[in-house]
Chain A
């Protein structure tokens, strides 16, 4: 009894795209929401954004960073994961805003297709700006191009597209007087913090999707608490999207590091075990 992985592909360096059969999740899933998965009975519950849905299949895209995502990346089409719960969190604010910009950094780009598609369907003009450290880490750009009126691609090292950060492009557009009504930024904490600073002087409504450590994802534990506008919010039920200009970024990033040592130990054990069993890691 579990949920079957129908497709598993490495779409960029160490970044994986899985399609999982989970009709209970896809039935009501909307842009901005996430799932919580657990690989097996020993596993931890981790949140992953719903990147796209297709019938009963839900797509997740993740980078193998710690034990759980590394283990997940070793699974193949036909394998099962024990649990997938969702959709969780509030859907993205939707409406006819006018000119919308969706910005993705690193694996955060994966959250954009479903969002861009929904914004487009709601009658908006959509510009996509995506950035990664280098070309090998860029993902989903062709797919995004089909949902966006304009797509700008950046790399930190200039190996593809614009040499620089999405924040540079956003600043330029705002500086040039381009009319922007609404911005979404999804990526690593530091990238969201810096990029969202660009819209402050122009008072453009800016949303970010926060990624604190979670356990249940249903508002029961308080692990995911973040300070927004001086108030404590639970990202899993009050978010995950919040007004970027009100987020206490330093607190968020500090809290994400709570288990760094333990996670390192866990990953090392997993890697050692993988070596000794030839990489065929199953329970």
Chain B
């Protein structure tokens, strides 16, 4: 896949990866061996019939390829861009043993982009059942559940608290990885299937729990939106952000285009991003695009970074400076941030989980400070408690997640859950997988009546 150079990229918010050409897609598809027992499919959380869609590309039947994917995945242009394919389908592709795995993700994206331009066809919808289902949240989990339920002929209403649908796809993942126009287009398809979307509706407040329970079933897809803070000194100084706030200001509210857009953000001239996952990479890369020098502070080693390899590489190419084996202990300044104090870390022997844990080094030279004017904490999110804490009898796990059984059913009759609210912060495709399973269970439950 062709990629623009790092220097060019940080001058704008346009997409980094440019996709593959039709010719290359067909050539890549021809590499697939159409295995008798395809491993790739097992690695896909929604079990797309991968060999079949690749075969269709090889035969230049692009529309057919799209239809095969859409049987299992209504958001292929999104997944083709943000799925960790290297650990999923591509990670299991048998060709990976000898040469390179088939580039399944790139092919998925190619098919979806082509279909979007050529005009999409909607999946078949079964006759109306007269049953009503409420879906809370319009992230990948909610959207997927809504599409699946609509397909079964149920009447679906999606409640979303923000003014735009998409969840993390809209407010979290930046434009240069996932253009918002694509998110909008893929969500539009589910509206075209007859799903009703109610924006500015906060379930638990705008719509009470009792009102939700008037539906025949409820699907909770409220995500893991609660940001964690480190709990160190100086954390409430002006200029300290959670990654969620920083990314929401830029992605959802377009603060990068202030004052054309009304929402401000402190861009920072020197920014410290704390964390090592995809969220940290996104925050760092957004800051680079707004002109800051960026340090990424991570407490383990470089090889332990939990972010996708590709995103780490992208961040390096874009000039993000990595400070691994370091941990912030104090934010300096007041009331405005002027710096961050960190301690160097050393890795001890692997613990039971097999991961070596970081321990702070002793001594004066173990401590160092960086002059920064913005600090972004990207150290994790937990399940959003707003609605789930209001539902009586709803069992929750240790981390605040909603407990579900194998079918996605919660401890409350007729209430199902999927996505990050059930699993804790995970991935787009896993959210979709659990949502689809829950939607199927809801359908079975409703049709038994």
Contacts and interface: CB of A to CB of B under 8 A. Distances in A.
Interface residues of B, number: 41
Interface stretch (A152-160, A200-208, A213-221): A213-221
For chain A, which range describes its interface: under 10, 10 to 19, 20 to 34, or 35 or more residues? 35 or more
B238 A258 contact: yes
A88 B227 contact: no
A82 B200 CA distance: 10
Interface stretch (B258-266, B298-306, B431-439): B258-266
A110 to B, nearest CB: 21
B229 A232 contact: yes
A219 B262 contact: no
A192 interface: no
Dominant SS among interface residues on chain A: mixed
A139 interface: no
Interface in A5-21: none
A28 B208 contact: yes
A251 interface: yes
Contact of B262 (A44, A86, A87, A222): A44
Contacts of B227: 220-222
Contact of A68 (B198, B207, B229, B262): B262
A223 interface: yes
B163 A85 contact: yes
Contacts of A42: 254, 260-262
Interface in B275-311: none
Pick from B199, B205, B225, B248 the residue with the most CB of A within 10 Å: B205
Interface in A79-102: 82-88
Contacts of A194: none
A222 B244 contact: yes
A104 to B, nearest CB: 24
A43 B262 contact: yes
A169 B322 CA distance: 58
Contacts, number: 118
Contact of B202 (A83, A218, A227, A269): A218
A269 B235 CA distance: 32
Contacts of B264: 44, 259, 262-263, 266
Contacts of A220: 171, 225-227, 244, 248, 384
A269 B162 CA distance: 27
A271 interface: no
A215 B200 contact: no
A84 B260 CA distance: 21
A199 B235 CA distance: 30
B260 A85 contact: no
B201 interface: yes
Contact of A258 (B202, B205, B226, B266): B266
A81 to B, nearest CB: 11
B274 to A, nearest CB: 14
B385 interface: yes
Given A68-B262, A215-B245, A219-B386, A85 B161 contact: yes
Given A87-B206, A219-B384, A255-B335, A232 B236 contact: yes
Contacts of B384: 218-220
A87 B201 CA distance: 9
Given A215-B253, A218-B386, A44 B263 contact: yes
Given A83-B200, A85-B163, A221 B248 contact: yes
Interface in A230-244: 232, 237
Contacts of A225: 229, 236
A149 interface: no
Contacts of A44: 253, 261-264
Nearest to A222: B242
Given A218-B202, A221-B245, A82 B236 contact: no
A183 interface: no
Contacts of A172: none
A83 B163 contact: yes
Nearest to A237: B386
A173 interface: no
A45 B164 CA distance: 12
Contacts of B235: 232
Interface of A: 24-25, 27-28, 33, 38, 42-45, 67-68, 82-88, 215-216, 218-223, 225, 227, 232, 237, 251, 254-255, 257-259, 262-263, 265-266, 269
9 contacts: A33-B205, A44-B253, A83-B163, A85-B200, A87-B205, A88-B202, A220-B226, A257-B238, A266-B264
6 closest Cβ pairs, A-B complex: A254-B335, A221-B245, A85-B200, A44-B262, A262-B264, A220-B225
Given A28-B208, A42-B261, A86-B202, 4 more contacts: A83-B199, A218-B162, A222-B229, A225-B236
